[in-house]
Amino acid sequence: MEKKEYTLALLVSNKPDVLARVSGVLGGRGYNIETLCVDATLDPAYSKIILTTIQDKATIGKIEKQLIRLIDVHKVTDLTKVESVSREMMLVRMKLSDTNKGHLALIIDTFNGRVITMNGDHCVMEITGDRAIIEKAVASLKPLGIDDMARTGIVSLERQIN
Amino acid sequence: MQLRGAEILIKVLKQEGIHTIFGYPGGVLLDIYDELFKGEIRHILVRHEQGAVHAADGFARASGKVGVALVTSGPGASNTVTGIANAYLDSIPIVVLTGQVPTHLIGTDAFQEVDIVGITRPCTKHNFLIKRVEEVAKTIHEAFHIARSGRPGPVLIDLPKDVMAAVTEYEPQPPKKIEAESPRPASKKAFYVMDLIAESKKPLILSGGGVILGGASEELRQLARRTRMPVTSTLMGLGAFPASDPLWLGMPGMHGTYYANMAISTCDLLIAIGMRFDDRVTGKIDHFAPNAKIVHVDIDASSINKNVMVDVPIVSDCKSALQSFNALLEQKNFSVTDDQRKEWLDQIDAWKKENPLSYCQSDTEIKPQFVIETLYKLTKGKAIIATEVGQNQMWAAQFYGYDEPNTFLSSGGLGTMGYGFPAALGAKIAFPDKLVVDIAGDGSIQMNIQEMATAIQDNIPVKIVLLNNGYLGMVRQWQQLFYGKRYSSTDMTYQPDFIKLAEAYGWMGLRATKPDEVEAVLQKGLDAPGPVLMDFRVSREECVYPMVRPGGPIHEMALGREMAN
């Protein structure tokens, strides 16, 4: 069966060990989590976990059923199935030189990025976008000398109130 | 009322209806054991923590109530893991209380510290680490609720020593009732199932452990009898439908009966209830019930369409589903007579005659099947039978007839050698007036044999029927059939003298070496008031038949005739 990236949103109790239980359901069956994003919801007793994983259709169905069995998981939504928007943010630290500054400014402009801090020979910038945009930005920045980077992983939200 | 954590623990256990727990003390449990000293709850002192968990599990399987084990931190806790995994795979409601080092030492590699919550995360239904004494009562109540609600399972609670010693205000809370939250079948689906039953010429019920766990045996019997549908049950489901009923087909699968496997392979409607299509039941999936529409009732949505794709998935507890089926039958005034089912029932009868469960009786050697048949005869099928794992387990499933639920206790999912004996102790605690027998092999019995001391100290008179062939028989059987009789490390000829061993523990030990001694030894052992180990020196290379080769389709069975002398 054809595999693709699925995005799951999990409403979970905001308690120690919950993330381990969730990741254990996937890890214990040999499935990789590609991206992961967690924070408390409006009600601090709960957290929302957004994770992505590359699976075929049958397997993602089984994973959803296994996840909802966990006592601390209250709701599982496959955001790939519903209309949703998703974003990822990355922070990139670039080495600056006379030769790359101009090119860098152009890239920041193209990807609607922002320089957060600049200090002599390096800068840290942020770029936000969907996964494809972030991948393109990384590809463009790489030849200019990425010192290090950090990515949030995907956050995603249904478009409609359901 | 100001109480210490340990006092609250005992109070909550009593509120949850717990009269007996199985345990083993240790440093971090001193506060709890000091509380137990008051004698409000009976404590059975096991000789190994694995035994405590299996005993709690056996108690739960026999009684349908939650079993409780109490063990210390570190090695005490890690020794419970096999028992917990065993209960997890068979969905048995138990609560395991583990001591833990004081909260300020957690994570420091303190003496006798392990992260038992981390270790048991994938083999518990849920687990807790209690970090504040204020959480003790609420968490323990919740643990019991989780263990017995929905698809049952083991719950572990880690209790740090300082939490048990700390004091807090305690107000008793009523235990959580199991709300009517369990899913029920949509009426549209129930109607559809009725139509399928009405249309079917060759229907079959395949029931599992869920029917027993859900207390739905009576409803199952009603459905089968009213519609004259034959019944086969997985290992976990034995007893839900009476083996003495003419509609009974025995167990299907790898060591299932010829007729159960043929019925599955031939039926046009398979109603699977409270079972999960384990590989030992299905054989090669592509050939499983190829002609049947499959209805699958299970309380756990994750069990449905996991191994076998079904036509009518119904997420429901077994009792509700069966009640709604029966109600519809009543409402429509629908029933089937044996005459109307004649063709199908005749076919099944022909299979039964063609290849009944059998073995080749001998005048000189004791056949293990004969021991179990004789046990069945002498006990009139009324004993609670626990089994170990391997050949002894399969013969116990084949040659003893179970007429009532909760009377066959066996490690189905995990296949834990050493399960049966401590489980038998647990069952005997639940039913002191019933005869409880562990059918064992000489390999398995040595895995938890230390509990013989427990049986004496706490006066738990169970019987052990030891089918002693000096081999790890099931593995040897595979070596015989698939590995050219190269018996690599399965010969256990060197073994203790089980009679002397029994006597050393204060048990009665009996032995039979010839077929004509079997009945007398069994009778004497069963009649004796105390615990008895009966050592039957059985035919060494007897195999379990029928046998479906691993990964093969279940209608292709080796019947063992080629092995007959």
CA distance B386 to B464: 9
Residues in chain A with CB shorter than 8 Å from the CB of B306 are 62
Residues in chain B with CB shorter than 8 Å from the CB of A16 are 129
Cα within 13 Å of Cα(B555), Cβ side? 14
Q: Which CATH architecture has domain B368-544?
A: 3-Layer(aba) Sandwich (3.40)
Which among A17, A56, A71, A75 is the top mutation candidate for probing chain B, defined by the most B β-carbons within 10 Å of its own β-carbon?
A71
CA distance B484 to chain A (A): 34
Q: Does B299 touch chain A (CB under 8 A)?
A: no
CB pairs under 8 A between A and B: 25
> Residue B179 has what pLDDT?
57
Residues in chain B with CB shorter than 8 Å from the CB of A71 are 125-126, 146
Q: Specify the length of chain B in residues.
A: 565
Using a 10 angstrom Cβ sphere, with 0-12 exposed, 13-18 middle and 19 or more buried, the burial of residue A24 is middle
3-state secondary structure string, B502-564?
HHHCCCEEEEECCHHHHHHHHHHHHHCCCCEEEEEEECCCCCCCCEECCCCECCCEECCHHHC
Residues in chain A with CB shorter than 8 Å from the CB of B118 are 20
Q: Other C-beta atoms within 10 Å of B242: how many?
A: 18
Contact B301/A24, CB-based, under 8 Å?
A: no
Q: Does B550 touch chain A (CB under 8 A)?
A: no
CA distance A65 to chain B (A): 5
Q: Does A29 touch chain B (CB under 8 A)?
A: no
| 3-class secondary-structure state, position B97 | strand
> Residue A137 has what pLDDT?
96
Q: Does B276 touch chain A (CB under 8 A)?
A: no
Q: Which domains does chain A have, with CATH numbers?
A: 3-81 (3.30.70.260), 85-158 (3.30.70.1150)
Nearest C-alpha in B relative to A62: B302
Give all strands (DSSP E) within B229-369, no chain letters: 231-233, 269-273, 293-298, 312-315
Contact A71/B306, CB-based, under 8 Å?
A: no
> Residue A161 has what pLDDT?
85
Q: Does B285 touch chain A (CB under 8 A)?
A: no
Cα within 13 Å of Cα(B393), Cβ side? 28
Q: Does B129 touch chain A (CB under 8 A)?
A: yes
| Catalytic residue selected from B111, B138, B342, B500 | B111
| Catalytic residue selected from B236, B474, B547, B557 | B474
Give all strands (DSSP E) within B287-431, no chain letters: 293-298, 312-315, 384-387, 408-409
Let me know if the fold of B187-354 is the same as that of B368-544: yes
| Domain regions of chain B by residue span | 2-169, 187-354, 368-544
> Residue B183 has what pLDDT?
72
CA distance B121 to chain A (A): 7
CA distance B91 to chain A (A): 13
B112 is catalytic: yes
DSSP symbols for A23-38? HHHHHTTTPPP-EEEE
Least CB–CB distance from B302: residue in A17, A21, A69: A69
Contact B302/A66, CB-based, under 8 Å?
A: yes
CA distance B88 to chain A (A): 13
B323 is catalytic: no
Backbone angles phi, psi at A123, to 5 degrees: -145, 155
CA distance B438 to B431: 15
Q: Other C-beta atoms within 10 Å of A94: how many?
A: 24
The answer to whether the CB of B24 falls within 8 A of the CB of B1 is no
Q: Is the bond into B203 cis (omega within 30 degrees of 0)?
A: no
Which among B106, B115, B116, B121 is the top mutation candidate for probing chain A, defined by the most A β-carbons within 10 Å of its own β-carbon?
B121
CA dihedral defined by B99, B102, B108, B110, rounded to 10 degrees? Answer: -60
| Catalytic residue selected from B16, B35, B113, B161 | B161
> Residue A120 has what pLDDT?
85
Where helices occur in chain A by DSSP H, the ranges are: 18-27, 57-69, 101-110, 131-141
The answer to whether the CB of B400 falls within 8 A of the CB of B251 is no
Contact B122/A24, CB-based, under 8 Å?
A: yes
B474 is catalytic: yes
Return the CA Rg of chain A: 18
Q: ipTM value of the model?
A: 0.90
The answer to whether the CB of B59 falls within 8 A of the CB of B67 is yes
What does CATH list as the number for B187-354?
Answer: 3.40.50.1220
Least CB–CB distance from B302: residue in A17, A65, A72: A65
CA distance A73 to chain B (A): 11
* In the block, residue with structure tokens 């990822």: A88
Residues in chain B with CB shorter than 8 Å from the CB of A70 are 126
CA distance B298 to B317: 6
B161 is catalytic: yes
Long-range contacts at B374-380 (CB < 8 A, ≥ 24 apart): B374/B518, B374/B519, B374/B522, B375/B400, B375/B437, B375/B439, B375/B465, B375/B522, B376/B400, B376/B401, B378/B519, B378/B522, B378/B523, B378/B526, B379/B435, B379/B437, B379/B526
CA distance A121 to chain B (A): 42
Backbone angles phi, psi at A154, to 5 degrees: -80, 135
CA distance B378 to chain A (A): 45
Contact A28/B122, CB-based, under 8 Å?
A: yes
B50 is catalytic: no
Residues in chain A with CB shorter than 8 Å from the CB of B122 are 24, 28
Residues in chain B with CB shorter than 8 Å from the CB of A66 are 302
pTM: 0.95
Q: Does B302 touch chain A (CB under 8 A)?
A: yes
Residues in chain A with CB shorter than 8 Å from the CB of B125 are 71
pLDDT means over runs of 10, chain A (162 residues)? 94 96 96 96 98 96 96 96 95 93 93 93 95 95 94 95 78
DSSP symbols for B114-169? --HHHHTGGGSSEEEE--SGGGHHHHHHHHHHHHHSSS---EEEEEEHHHHH-EEE
Nearest C-alpha in A relative to B300: A69
Q: Does A1 touch chain B (CB under 8 A)?
A: no
CA distance A147 to B379: 79
What would the two tokens of residue A22 be? 């969730």
Residues in chain A with CB shorter than 8 Å from the CB of B129 are 16-17
Nearest C-alpha in A relative to B126: A71
pLDDT means over runs of 10, chain B (565 residues)? 97 97 98 98 98 98 98 98 98 98 97 98 98 97 96 98 98 70 77 95 98 98 98 98 97 97 98 96 95 96 93 95 95 94 97 95 97 98 98 98 98 98 98 98 98 98 98 97 97 97 98 98 98 98 96 93 51
Backbone angles phi, psi at B193, to 5 degrees: -60, -40
CA distance B36 to B51: 19
> Residue B443 has what pLDDT?
98
| Catalytic residue selected from B7, B49, B219, B542 | B49
Domain B2-169 listed as CATH 3.40.50.970:
yes
CA distance B317 to B180: 11
Residues 69-128 of A with CB under 8 A from B: 69-72
Percentage above 70 pLDDT, chain A: 99
Using a 10 angstrom Cβ sphere, with 0-12 exposed, 13-18 middle and 19 or more buried, the burial of residue B361 is exposed
Q: Does B211 touch chain A (CB under 8 A)?
A: no
Give all strands (DSSP E) within B396-525, no chain letters: 408-409, 436-441, 463-468, 508-512
Least CB–CB distance from B121: residue in A21, A66, A68: A21
